[in-house]
Amino acid sequence: MKLATFTFIIATVALIATGAGAETHSRLVAQTQVVARPIADVFATLKQYFSDPMISRFQLISANSATHSLIAKESGIDQDTWSSSAFCVTSPLQMMFGFKDGTVTVTVNLSKTPKVKHSTLVSVTADFKGIYGNKSEQHEMNCLSKGTLEKEVLAAAAAAPTPPAK
Residue 20 lies in a domain: no
pLDDT value, residue 164: 54
3-state SS assignment for residue 136:
coil
Query: What is d(CA 57, CA 38) in angstroms, rounded to the nearest whole number?
Result: 25
User: Mean per-residue pLDDT for 76-86?
Assistant: 92
Higher pLDDT, 98 or 47: 47
Q: What is the pLDDT of residues 82-127, one digit of tens each?
A: 999 998 887 777 667 788 889 999 999 999 998 888 999 999 999 9
Residue 3 lies in a domain: no
Decide if pLDDT at 138 tops 70: yes
Report pTM.
Answer: 0.78
Domain count, the chain: 1
Range of the domain at 94: 28-158
Query: What is d(CA 77, CA 60) in angstroms, rounded to the nearest whole number?
Result: 16
CATH code: domain of residue 94: 3.30.530
Q: How far from the centroid of its chain's Cα atoms is residue 95's Cα?
A: 21
